Amino acid sequence: MFLRKSKKAKPAAYVIAEAETAVSRQRPETATATVHVRARSGRQRQTERAKTRILMCAVVFVFVFASLGVRLAFISFGQIKAEAPHAAAPSLEAPRAEITDRNGTLLATDLPMISLEVAGQEIWDAHETAQKLLTVLPDIDAVELEQKLRRGRYVDLRGNLTPAERQAVFDLGLPGIHFATRIKRFYPQADLAAHIVGHEEPGKGGVMGMEKVANDWRGGRTMRASIDIRVQQIVEDELAAAMTKFSAKAGWAGVMDVATGEIIALASLPDFDPNAPGAAAADSRRNRATLDQYELGSAFKAFTAAAALEEGLAGEATNYDARGSLLVADHRITDFHGENRILTLSEVVQFSSNIGIARVAAELGPKRQRDYLGKLGLLTRLTMDLPERRAPQLPDRWGPVETATIAYGHGISVTPLHLLTAFGAVVNGGDFHDPTFFADPKRVSERAVFSSQTSTVMRRILRRVITDGTASYAEAPGYFPIGKTATADKPSGGGYNRNTRIASFVGAVPGYAPRYAILVSLDEPQPLKETWGYATAGWTAAPVFSRIVARAAPFLGLAPVNEATALAAFVSGGEAADGASASRKAAIAAPIVERAP
């Protein structure tokens, strides 16, 4: 039968390794030639390699999981901030400076807010998520939210959750819900002093006003603005009422401390709410008082008269022919309601004679006129804290015609704040101060323009404008204000449109020792039956000045005086003015406090 083949025995593989004895390792010089032989099979070698590989893998896994554990521990204890799938919120560690008025009333501050965010890639059901959130936040657009979540979008749903809303959303137990703490800039006074305070935009910081100044003012300190919010409220109320009454297109007004240049109030209407700046038109966000250029008219007569007095070219009683009209080169100058007679310098200002002041300017000459306007800051941009500032618009040439028209405020365009600061130098003893929006400036800029004698004479002249001239409605009993009306026709088509005008009144109180200069302007006020068809400054802007003085005086630390006291200061000149100046400085040093009724 068949014989079964015998299998050949497979040779076993052995590795022969020589090994030294312990004796030979310790004393090689005495060691014999004895060699130990150790045999290992292939299976043993495979087992040893497997053990080595397992050990290496274990080490790698331990290292990886240890690293992850350390990172999670750091994140849990706040040492490392986890990366978010969206733009990082503003840091809580570097808040913007708070802004207050001069008395500590809060104007702008940071508020921590809880924001709700939904990660579209982490949710289970877009429809369920949107509908459940709607039950807690009924003001959201659930349809739009669902569409965004279906596309996997990361949705910043609400930026101002209340603690109760946060808890209600948390209780829904929805996946993909995130809460983040953010900073929101809040303006508790809303639109009050909006152009001074300014506002911020996400990712840009402050974009205008004091907020733009605050971009470089970090660390939680408080920025104390020069404005008094109580006076600001009065100014805005009266200005808004006048705009409504005369159907004016716009208006601006300001109050300045003539001894320091501090702006106590500055209004530009229409305005906006810094909490929602986008809701207002761009035109409303423009600060007309510091950015817009206007031909501000007859207020310039005060500057021309003061320059003539300072140069010794005229005195209070110097006569000027204001009859008929005046021809300068090819330009004929007339008066609006001329006296048609010989006028003194005081009467030229008092009755606002273009003819008379043009004759004064002719004697002064273009060079000296320009020099004085330059010293009054009327030829360059103002040096001040707010970024919103603009240089005046000057004539291309400065000849005899320009000298005559600039004397009464035509042919040169300046900002309203230019006019206010320049007028302060005429009445405060002759010193020009750059305007500032910070309270109690450490260093007050000062530039001498006129002598105290010139300033004293100008105060008397400007008082007569109210008692016997064009601004009788600017009177404020007990405060004896001084000032000048200015009604300027607006340029149009290479000439002037007599039906569109800017009506302004710039004055100071108390008139015998001024502490505050006040400007009020209305853009295109309309005539009324009660004003006998006039819309000039004496009928429109002057009454606003009077009401501001009457209401704001107690907050400004002003007390009414009797006529004898005021008259003595106006008549005696330098001595009385110097005494009043000393009392003014003492009052400035004292804090402004609200008086009890």
Same structural domain for residues 142 and 190?
Answer: yes
Same structural domain for residues 238 and 180?
Answer: no
Q: At what angle do helices 163-171 and 126-136 cross, to 10 degrees?
A: 140
**What are the Cα distances from residue 344, in Å, to 96, 389, 457, 470?**
57, 37, 13, 16
Regarding predicted confidence, which is higher, 189 or 5?
189
Same structural domain for residues 258 and 130?
Answer: no
Let me know if residue 126 belongs to a domain: yes
Query: Which active-site residues does the annotation give?
Result: 298
What is the CATH number for 122? 3.90.1310.10
Domain count, the chain: 2
Mean pLDDT of 361-390: 95
Q: Residue 489: which pLDDT band, with cuts at 50, 70 and 90?
A: confident
Let me know if residue 134 belongs to a domain: yes
Spatial separation of the C-alpha atoms in residues 32 and 120, rounded to whole Å: 81
Regarding predicted confidence, which is higher, 339 or 257?
257
Spatial separation of the C-alpha atoms in residues 583 and 332, rounded to whole Å: 47
**Structure confidence at residue 405 (pLDDT):** 95
Mean pLDDT of 466-486: 95
591: left (phi over 0), alpha (psi -120 to 50) or beta: beta
Same structural domain for residues 249 and 164?
Answer: no
**Structure confidence at residue 240 (pLDDT):** 97
Spatial separation of the C-alpha atoms in residues 298 and 489, rounded to whole Å: 11
Q: Of 224, 259, 282, which residue constitutes the final position of a domain? A: 224
Domain extent for 121: 98-224
- Mean pLDDT across the chain: 85
- Among residues 253, 331, 122, the alpha carbon closest in space to that of 523 is found at 253
Mean pLDDT of 373-381: 96
Among 18-32, 44-58, 459-473, whose mean pLDDT is lowest? 18-32
What is the residue-wise DSSP string for 440-487?
A: S-SS---EE-S-HHHHHHHHHHHHHHHHTSS-GGG--TTT--EEEEEE
Among 59-63, 366-370, 464-468, whose mean pLDDT is lowest? 59-63
Q: Residue 62: which pLDDT band, with cuts at 50, 70 and 90?
A: confident
Is 128:135 a contact under the CB 8 Å cutoff?
no
What is the residue-wise DSSP string for 234-257?
A: HHHHHHHHHHHHHT-SEEEEEEEE
Residue at 360: amino acid letter: V
Q: At what angle do helices 354-364 and 400-407 cross, to 10 degrees?
A: 130
Is 107:100 a contact under the CB 8 Å cutoff?
yes
Among 157-171, 378-392, 528-542, whose mean pLDDT is lowest? 157-171
Among 89-93, 310-314, 447-451, 492-496, whose mean pLDDT is lowest? 89-93
Same structural domain for residues 218 and 267?
Answer: no
Let me know if residue 442 belongs to a domain: yes
Let me know if residue 10 belongs to a domain: no
Check pLDDT > 50 for residue 93: no
Same structural domain for residues 364 and 438?
Answer: yes
- Among residues 444, 377, 434, 369, the alpha carbon closest in space to that of 408 is found at 369
Q: Scanning the structure block, which residue is given the tokens 């008379």?
A: 356
Is 354:488 a contact under the CB 8 Å cutoff?
no
Spatial separation of the C-alpha atoms in residues 470 and 349, rounded to whole Å: 9
Is 257:558 a contact under the CB 8 Å cutoff?
no
What is the CATH number for 306? 3.40.710.10
Spatial separation of the C-alpha atoms in residues 34 and 32, rounded to whole Å: 5
Same structural domain for residues 210 and 325?
Answer: no
pLDDT tens-digit map of 117-134: 999 899 899 999 999 999
Q: Of 224, 244, 262, which residue constitutes the final position of a domain? A: 224
Q: Using a pLDDT cut of 90, give the percent of the chain over it.
A: 60
Same structural domain for residues 158 and 286?
Answer: no
Neighbours of 567 (CB within 10 A): 15
Stated pTM of the model: 0.76
Let me know if residue 79 belongs to a domain: no
Let me know if residue 346 belongs to a domain: yes
Let me know if residue 45 belongs to a domain: no
Check pLDDT > 80 for residue 29: no
Spatial separation of the C-alpha atoms in residues 11 and 16, rounded to whole Å: 15
Same structural domain for residues 311 and 433?
Answer: yes
Same structural domain for residues 237 and 215?
Answer: no
Same structural domain for residues 134 and 264?
Answer: no
Let me know if residue 396 belongs to a domain: yes
Check pLDDT > 80 for residue 264: yes
Provide the 8-state DSSP code for 315.
Answer: -
Q: Of 202, 224, 246, which residue constitutes the final position of a domain? A: 224
10: left (phi over 0), alpha (psi -120 to 50) or beta: beta
Same structural domain for residues 216 and 293?
Answer: no
Neighbours of 376 (CB within 10 A): 25
